[in-house]
């Protein structure tokens, strides 16, 4: 087996950087390619649930130490738009059980954390991949400027519009969700926002989340049902957004109006049909390229990190990279598919705008037992390394 096999990774987002960390950890050389001129350092916030850190720790012994960069969730509330508390979610209880925290963090801080775990990984910017050729002993990766790079495997971590997914010929059709998302970070203080506080308010075809991410910074997001065309062409201000929540709690209106309009990111909500194939020979997909999903479970980043951990795990101590990548796909697809489907289903429920479905949703949350809520949350928050190891060690699983 080659002492220093090389992985070519397209994309420097959460998935790409995590994959580089995992593969460096097992002794691989890594080259990262990014079509932009540099690392993206701006953006909103996100959650990295406990399953992500647990996967890296259990499979590869890597401690991401995200608590040093964001805020651990201590209190997660679901509230009606009137302010009535529907449920407190046992996030910290599950995190403690797993020995890994659920962290809310800005994209910039998460990027800093991941970069601090990288060694001498080569990052090459302004490079747009246009295709690859698989040879008998590796991959030839071609770019639009005529340059060519060679490696042992190719990992497409290039997101929702992945060119590598297209190159391997797997289909994934865009599915519009029918609502807009507003995302923002703001320096903000309020008595309700205690350390590690998360609150989601549910209304009629609208939601808003307000999340402590540490050091006085708050991440908030809002949604409202509208056509994909309206969502894509939105040009409103913070005042226009606040009008959607005119009868909601003062905290909601105040934090929106305290945010400069120019710092609010607008996104039309969408996902894709689940790609049936992630891997072709020495090429595989990871993160949003493999399983683009809606955000309702907050698992986009977490599953990308899980992917990276499993990829590193299956590539340890082998020189049969084709078999290892196929094994990675077989191990990862059932869990990824389940979370993609659950995220889509929850999104539809959360965006209900008809009276009867909304009443059933809200009453269901209010009267659900803590055991029911806990068991449901565990499906996504607990990373089962035993299943991964059993699948890895079982022959002919595909």
CATH number at residue 24: 3.50.50.60
Cα–Cα distance, 180 to 234 (Å, whole number): 9
Tokens (6 digits) for 66:
């995200």
Q: Is the pLDDT of residue 1 over 50?
A: no
Give the pLDDT mean for 350-355: 98
**Inter-axis angle of helices 50-60 and 370-381, to 10 degrees?**
50
Cα–Cα distance, 67 to 92 (Å, whole number): 13
Tokens (6 digits) for 266:
């607008």
Tokens (6 digits) for 144:
């639009």
Question: Backbone dihedral region of 359: left (phi > 0), alpha (psi from -120 to 50 degrees) or beta?
Answer: alpha
Which DSSP symbol is given to 16? H
Give the pLDDT mean for 171-176: 97
Give the pLDDT mean for 130-141: 94
Answer whether residue 196 is part of any domain: no
CB–CB of 374/380 below 8 Å? no
What contacts 355, CB < 8 A, 6 or more positions away? none
Residue 125 phi, psi (nearest 5): -105, 165
* Residues 301, 282, 113: CA angle, nearest 5 degrees: 25
Cα–Cα distance, 175 to 11 (Å, whole number): 23
For strands 6-10 and 29-34, give the pairing. Answer: parallel
Tokens (6 digits) for 181:
């998302």
Cα–Cα distance, 291 to 226 (Å, whole number): 24
List helix spans (H) across 73-227.
Answer: 91-98, 107-116, 163-167
Number of domains in the chain: 1
| CA nearest to 5, candidates 343, 258, 296, 325 | 325
The pTM assigned to this predicted structure is 0.95
Q: Is the pLDDT of residue 395 over 60?
A: no
Give the pLDDT mean for 207-221: 98
pLDDT band at residue 389 using 50, 70 and 90 as cut-offs: confident
Buried b (16+ CB within 10 A) or exposed e, 339-356: bbebbbeebeebbbeeee
pLDDT band at residue 396 using 50, 70 and 90 as cut-offs: very low
Q: List, for residues 51-88, the tens digit of each pLDDT value.
A: 999 999 999 999 999 999 999 999 999 999 999 999 99
The dihedral through the CA atoms of 364, 370, 372, 373 has a sign that is positive
Classify residue 103 by burial, with Cβ atoms within 10 Å: 0-12, 13-18, 19+: buried
Answer whether residue 234 is part of any domain: no
Q: Is 62 helix (H, G, I), strand (E, B) or coil?
A: coil
**The pLDDT value given to residue 394:** 59
Q: List, for residues 15-51, the tens digit of each pLDDT value.
A: 999 999 999 999 999 999 999 999 987 779 999 999 9
**The pLDDT value given to residue 43:** 78
Answer whether residue 166 is part of any domain: yes
Cα–Cα distance, 11 to 285 (Å, whole number): 11
Cross-strand pairs, 130: none
Cα–Cα distance, 353 to 201 (Å, whole number): 14
Answer whether residue 289 is part of any domain: yes
Classify residue 4 by burial, with Cβ atoms within 10 Å: 0-12, 13-18, 19+: exposed
Answer whether residue 227 is part of any domain: no
Work out the mean pLDDT of the chain and round it to a whole number. 95
Task: Provide the residue range defining the domain that includes 20.
Answer: 6-174+272-392
Please give the share of the chain, as a percent, with pLDDT higher than 90: 93
| CA nearest to 209, candidates 69, 375, 46 | 46
Answer whether residue 156 is part of any domain: yes
Q: List, for residues 258-284, the tens digit of each pLDDT value.
A: 999 999 999 999 999 999 999 999 999
Answer whether residue 142 is part of any domain: yes
Q: Is the pLDDT of residue 398 over 50?
A: no
Answer whether residue 226 is part of any domain: no
């Amino acid at each position: 087996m080659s002492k220093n096999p090389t992985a070519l990774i397209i994309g420097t987002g959460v998935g790409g950087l995590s994959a580089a960390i995992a593969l460096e950890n097992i002794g691989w050389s890594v080259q990262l390619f990014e079509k932009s001129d540099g690392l993206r350092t701006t953006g909103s916030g996100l959650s990295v649930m406990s399953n992500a850190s647990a996967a890296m720790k259990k499979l590869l012994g890597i401690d991401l130490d995200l608590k040093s960069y964001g805020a651990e969730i201590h209190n997660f509330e679901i509230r009606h738009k009137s302010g009535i508390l529907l449920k407190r979610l046992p996030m910290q209880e599950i995190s403690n059980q797993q020995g890994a925290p659920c962290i809310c963090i800005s994209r910039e801080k998460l990027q800093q954390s991941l970069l601090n775990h990288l060694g001498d990984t080569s990052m090459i910017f302004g490079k747009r991949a246009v295709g690859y050729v698989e040879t008998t002993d590796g991959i030839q990766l071609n770019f639009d400027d005529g340059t060519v790079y060679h490696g042992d495997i190719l990992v497409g971590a290039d997101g929702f519009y992945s060119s590598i997914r297209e190159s391997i010929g797997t289909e994934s059709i865009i599915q519009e969700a029918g609502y807009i998302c507003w995302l923002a970070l703001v320096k903000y203080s309020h008595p309700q926002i205690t350390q590690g506080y998360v609150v989601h308010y549910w209304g009629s075809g609208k939601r808003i989340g307000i999340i402590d991410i540490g050091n006085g910074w708050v991440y908030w997001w809002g949604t409202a049902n509208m056509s994909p065309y309206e969502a894509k062409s939105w040009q409103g201000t913070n005042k226009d957004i606040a009008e959607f929540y005119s009868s909601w709690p003062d905290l909601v209106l105040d934090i929106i109006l305290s945010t400069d309009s120019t710092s609010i990111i607008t996104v039309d909500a969408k996902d894709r049909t689940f790609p049936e194939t992630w891997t072709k020979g020495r090429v595989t997909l990871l993160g949003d390229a493999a399983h683009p999903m809606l955000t309702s479970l907050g698992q986009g980043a977490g599953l990308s990190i899980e992917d990276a951990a499993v990829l590193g795990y299956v590539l340890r101590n082998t020189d049969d990279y084709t078999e290892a990548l196929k094994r990675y796909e077989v191990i990862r697809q059932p869990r990824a598919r389940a979370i993609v489907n659950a995220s889509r289903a929850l999104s539809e429920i959360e965006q209900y705008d008809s009276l009867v479905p909304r009443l059933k949703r809200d009453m269901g949350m209010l009267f659900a037992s803590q055991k029911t809520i806990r068991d449901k949350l565990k499906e996504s928050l607990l990373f089962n390394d035993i299943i991964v190891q059993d699948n890895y060690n079982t022959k002919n699983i595909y």
